[in-house]
Structure 1
Amino acid sequence: MRHTRTLLLLCCLLLPFIVLKAQQPQTAKLKVAVFAPVYLDSVFTGDTFRPANSNSLPRYMLPGLDFYNGVMLAIDSLNTEQVPVQVLFYDTKSATVPLENMLESPEMNGTSLIIASFNARNEVKPVADYALRNNIPLLSSTYPNDGGVEGNPFFVLLNPTLRTHCEGLYRYLQRIYPTSSMVMFRKKGAAEDMIQSIFGEMARNTQGVPLKIKTVELPDSFTTAQVTGYLDSNRQNIVICGSLNETFGLSLTRSLNEARSSYRSIAAGMPTWDALKDIDKGIEIIYSTPYNYLRTDKEGLSFTTKYRNRYAGRPSDMAFKGFESMYHFTKLLVKHQSALINNLSDNSFKLFNEFNVQPVRISAANPMPAYLENKKLYFVRKIDGQIKSVSP
């Protein structure tokens, strides 16, 4: 796998960008630009491969590189279908070509769609501003942050913000446990204040019966007894983790696990729980995600096989995201052409997930959306590493 990826990196290095053209009869081609953090210059001097550790690539390269690998496999599929598209690929971590220069390069002229995998907040707005100036849809596929973008109806967050996850979790709990008493445990912090505030807004504005949630602020280091003091031994407890802090979340579920013989509990947590090992040890958890990659259905197995045959490894979620973003939205681009921005919720070419892209308005007085955002969430229930159910 390492040697295959090295060859791909060499191919990319030939230019500040790589141009990939579909093999199809001569026809008008649509142009798609892909931006991802591959960090080529950190492992190459000229054409010489020089990783710090000769046995492997640096770990910080792997997410962006796997996104790129997924994009490449999508291009293979588009080629097979003779889709008329030209793809430009840019490494946003280039040490020689600034992001602004990439955007203003002549090759970007005539671009119809931009797909980006950001990993830094300060990269978002320059690309979003370029997309707005040129009326090009920009899909932010992996970074759940608006980057300070406002008044830009061409900027699309496919990976939803924390607000969307909190609002979705509130509605889910309202639907499944409408009359249950709940406890939200949180720690001190600005993010925790935001989470509590969103839940408060939902309670005030809901058209149904508001959830009964007691909020408890715990110290950074807390004991199981401090948690169980707010639980009921006579019924199932619905516990909400009101913090993104991984250590806090792990400590909370560990306390619930230690007390499970006396207190039956289900823990509802943040989207970051998707990647936390042992967060569900001995305790059932619920969390939301916009990306439901089962890997056991027809499409998941097909992609995993393609990836293994090409790269001799197992695809990460970033590879799935790269493949899905490139294939699904390029097919929509071909179908809708210049009207793509108004049809991003068209699920005609669904692979793994559905998308429900809606305008986000910060002020009711301003009809212009701040940006567009995918509001589709899946709610995962897990225990001991095993998924019990996934529901919308």
Structure 2
Amino acid sequence: MKVRLYLSLIAITIFSLSGFCQTDKLPRKNVDGKEFYIYTVDKSEGFYALFRKFGTSQSDIIKYNPEAKNGLKQSQTILIPIDDSTENTSRNEVSTNQQEKNNQERVFEVNSGNKFFNHTVKRGETLYAIALMYQIPIKDITDANPGTEQGIREGAILKIPQSYQTGKVPEPVSSQDKPKADTNEQFIFHTIESGETLYSVSKKYNTEIESILLNNPGISPSHFNIGTVLRIIPGIKKAVEKATKTEYTAYKVQKNETLYSIARHFNISVDDIIACNPGLKSIKKDQIINIPKTVQYIVPEKALTNDEIDRIYNRLYKCDKKEAVNVAVILPFMLNNKPDSKSNLYIDYYQGLLMAVDSLKRKGTSVNLYVYDSEGSDATVRSILNKKEMSAIDMIIAPEQDSQIEIIADYALKHNINVVNSFSLKSNEVTHNAKIFQTNIPHSYLYAEASNRFIKKFRNKEIVFLNSKEEGSSSKEFSKILKDDLNKEKITYKELNFDSELKVNALDDMLNQCSNVIFVPTSGSRTMLSKIMAPLVTFSNDHSDMDISLFGYPEWITYTNEQLNNYHKLNTFIFSRFYANVTDNDYKDFNSKYHYWYNQNMVNAYPLYAVLGFDTGLYFLEALRKYGHNFGNKTHNMHSKALQTDFQFERINNWSGFINKSFYFVNFTPAYNIVKIKN
């Protein structure tokens, strides 16, 4: 069964009266001599809905309402420019020119083949993440892709149902994940195909290239990759350009007619008739004369060149060096309460950030910090965002609470402010808000990237998984991913299962023919580590001729003090988002300065919050100084020299924010060195 989506062409489509807003009831406002309607955005209304009401394009709305650049919000008050296409129009007032009739309606057939679009699964993506990305229930994806309920693999092509075709508001992924106001605009999702360009896609959906770029900040003429997905608001093309020309009709003079009577009949002047009939001085019955007629026609649209599209892109995402950087820090310092361990961590983070500010000021960067205590309260955060100085803020460092990140993210998207999420791994704002920078790589991406790096580095070793039957399955996510990847690469591995104790003789029996081994426990728990460490050290001592390594988990960093000697004996590699090497000279210098500044030691935590604040400050403040508000599209040019946390940001999709995909392999070598491996 075919479903039709009617995409109306601005200024040439015949609308019914019910399709227009009753503009006579709207208040008006004159701004610099131009008339506007004052309009309040309804729930779930987007640019397409306003175009249907007023015939006003997205680009024109944004022109007079710059705050609408990143989407419309319920109850937002905007100005709608009044012109000929905005006033109520009846059917009898619309031109019936044949050329316009042929272009009145553009129909897209949405049949069983394209009620869906294709999504290619990226490394680390989960069904939950994809469902959040497109604001649809997981069940809709699994119903369209039988078997995916058992899991998805990198490179798999999923059919994702279009929600636009039914005109419904997408269902939330769960009761906790409700669609945001800026995601209710009923986008059509389009998968880029071979040979397509920004211009051809804009023509297909009768929309502006500028609109596609606004709604997909991850694309440009030079970054338009086959297989990636765009979100598009269709049918918001600017009014077509029209021109006039003169045509001539042959007319046979009737009995008793005069030039004057003929001119009145055709609503033209006698001079108009004489001008197109050279030498005509008088007329007689049955004489053939030319009658001029002014007709309107649509000027053919000229395809934009890549250079012209680049100019649009550079205007939308202009990068300028900033003389002064304005940053708001909104954290739960809990200054009106008795200090606790958590608030002390945020104070430590802030103190490290201050040291980064000082470092940049010494290099000539002017930084203005606005620091607020969120008090752990949503209401306090809203109150902070209403402060006058927030209008000049370039970046907000957000607290850990997800509800407060959501409040800040919505505000930041509306006001084009970057948001740094340094603390929460659970917030989903990054999946659909282009202004979010999540500095902690999410678990699924971390495990996928760690598995990929493991295979590149250790594929020639004998890989042995150590599995304690007493460990729960919930802690085995990484080892499952790694085994799947090894199987896909056709790399063999061994598994040794044990109960409460790992036996050295079991290792001897399994590995008596091996010379190069790496052990991978299937759990990172302290209990698992205590079960395997002594037997592995004994096995290593008994086989000094064997090249032995141990691979461990991020939480093992917190056990370093008690296990440091054993880590070195077993040539241990630990994958982790964070690592500060206390023997590193740069770290020693920072630690010394911290103690000098604050006359105290850093709070002992994992990660070290003072160092996290310092690393974050150096990276983002330098990015703002160098590229301004839109530094996100320049992250590939930015390199960090961090003490504890490096940054390598990538978008999840073409309209999302950024996640930090940087992490380390920390190698405790038998020579008692500690090597931090980035790549």
TM-score interval for Structure 1 and Structure 2 normalised by the shorter chain: 0.7 to 0.9
Cross-structure match for 1:33: 328
Could you say what secondary structure the match of 2:417 adopts?
coil
Conserved in 2, the CA contact under 8 Å of 1:240 and 1:268?
Answer: yes
Partner of 1:310: 597
DSSP-derived class of the 1:355 partner: coil
SS in 2 for 1:90: strand
1:189 and 2:465 correspond: no
* Alpha carbons 1:137, 1:156 under 8 Å: kept: yes
Partner of 2:74: none
Change beyond 3 A, Cα 1:157–1:384:
farther
Q: CA deviation at 1:337?
A: 0.6
| CA distance in 1 between partners of 2:498 and 2:381 (Å) | 43
Within 5 Å, give how 1:130-141 maps onto structure 2. Answer: 130-141=411-422
1:120-139 correspondence to structure 2 within 5 Å = 120-121=401-402, 123-139=404-420
SS of the aligned residue for 1:152 comes to: coil
TM-score (norm 1): 0.73
Q: In 2, Cα distance between the equivalents of 1:30 and 1:312?
A: 28
In the other structure, the counterpart of 1:249 is 529
Matches within 5 A, 1:150-299: 150-185=431-466, 187-192=471-476, 194-200=477-483, 202-203=485-486, 209-214=489-494, 222-225=500-503, 228=506, 231-233=510-512, 234-262=514-542, 265-277=548-560, 278-282=562-566, 283-297=570-584, 299=586
Contact 1:228/1:259 (CA < 8 Å) preserved in 2?
Answer: no
SS of the aligned residue for 1:276 comes to helix
* Aligned equivalents of 1:86, 1:137: Cα separation in 2: 15
Counterparts in 2 of 1:226 and 1:121: CA distance versus 1, 3 Å: farther
CA distance in structure 2 between the partners assigned to 1:95 and 1:124 by the alignment = 11
Specify the alignment match of 1:72 in structure 2.
354
Return the offset for 1:254: 4.1
Task: Report if the CA contact (8 A) 2:554-2:577 is conserved.
Answer: no
CA-to-partner distance for each residue in 1:33-62, whole Å, 9 max, x for gaps? 12334332332xxxxxxx6xxxxxx43333
8 Å Cα contact 2:323/2:365 also seen in 1: no
Residue 618 of structure 2: which of 327, 331, 338 is its match? Answer: 327
Query: Does 2:394 correspond to 1:112?
Result: yes
Q: Distance in 2 between matches of 1:66 and 1:253?
A: 34
Q: Distance in 2 between matches of 1:131 and 1:215?
A: 50
Alignment check: 8 A CA contact 2:669 2:675 kept: no
Instruction: Tell me which moved more, 173-182 or 324-333.
Output: 173-182
8 Å Cα contact 2:332-2:343 kept in structure 1 = yes
Match of 1:102 among 380, 384, 389: 384
CA contact (8 A) 1:249 1:279 kept: no
For 1:135 and 1:347, how far apart are their aligned partners in 2?
A: 21
What amino acid does structure 1 have at the position aligned with 2:418? P
Q: Distance in 2 between matches of 1:103 and 1:276?
A: 41
Long gaps (5+) in structure 1: 1-26, 44-50, 52-57, 362-366
State whether residues 191 and 244 of structure 1, in contact with CA within 8 Å, keep that contact through their aligned partners in structure 2: yes
SS in 2 for 1:261: helix
- TM (norm. structure 2) is 0.44
Q: Which residue of 2 aligns with 1:3?
A: none
Structure 1 residue identity aligned to 2:436? F
Shift of residue 312, structure 1, vs aligned partner: 2.3
SS class of match (1:41): coil
Deviation larger for 378-387 or 62-71: 378-387
Kept in 2, the 8 Å contact 1:40–1:91? The answer is: yes
Distance 1:338-1:210 versus aligned 2 partners, 3 A rule: farther
Instruction: Tell me the equivalent position of 1:90.
Output: 372
* 2:352–2:611 contact (8 Å) kept in structure 1: yes
1:142: how far off?
A: 4.2
What does the per-residue CA deviation read over 1:181-230, in whole Å, with 9 as the maximum and x for residues that have no partner? 323345323342x324432553466xxx45434456766xx212299458
The AA in structure 2 aligned to 1:306 is: K
Contact 2:648–2:661 (Cα < 8 Å) also in 1: yes
Q: Contact (CA 8 Å) 2:416, 2:629: kept in 1 or not?
A: no
**2:576 touches 2:666 (CA, 8 Å); kept in 1?**
yes
Q: CA deviation at 1:335?
A: 0.9
What's the counterpart of residue 38 of structure 2? none
Change in Cα spacing, 1:166 to 1:351, as seen in structure 2 (3 Å) is: closer
Q: Distance in 2 between matches of 1:37 and 1:255?
A: 45
Greater Cα radius of gyration, structure 1 or 2? 2
The alpha-carbon distance between structure 1 residues 383 and 350, as it changes in their structure 2 partners (threshold 3 A), is closer
Aligned residues: 339
Following the alignment from structure 1 to structure 2, what is the Cα–Cα distance between the partners of residues 287 and 378? 8
Deviation of 1:125 after TM superposition, in Å, equals: 3.5
Tell me which residue corresponds to 1:147: 427
Q: Which has the higher contact order (CA 8 A, sep 6+)?
A: 1
Aligned to 1:357: 649
Match of 1:379 among 665, 668, 672: 665
Task: Find the aligned partners of 1:39 and 1:79 in 2 and give their Cα distance.
Answer: 28
1: distance between equivalents of 2:389 and 2:553? Answer: 41
Question: Could you tell me which residue of structure 2 aligns to residue 340 of structure 1?
Answer: 631
Structure 1 residues 307-356: Cα deviation after superposition (integer angstroms, max 9, x where no partner): 12112234462111101211321121011012211123443563546422
8 Å Cα contact 1:183/1:239 also seen in 2: yes
Contact 1:281–1:384 (CA under 8 A) maintained in structure 2: no
Paired residue for 1:42?
A: 337
**In 1, Cα distance between the equivalents of 2:622 and 2:367?**
10
Q: 1:376 to 1:217 in 2, by over 3 A?
A: same
CA contact (8 A) 1:185 1:240 kept: yes
Aligned equivalents of 1:242, 1:104: Cα separation in 2: 49
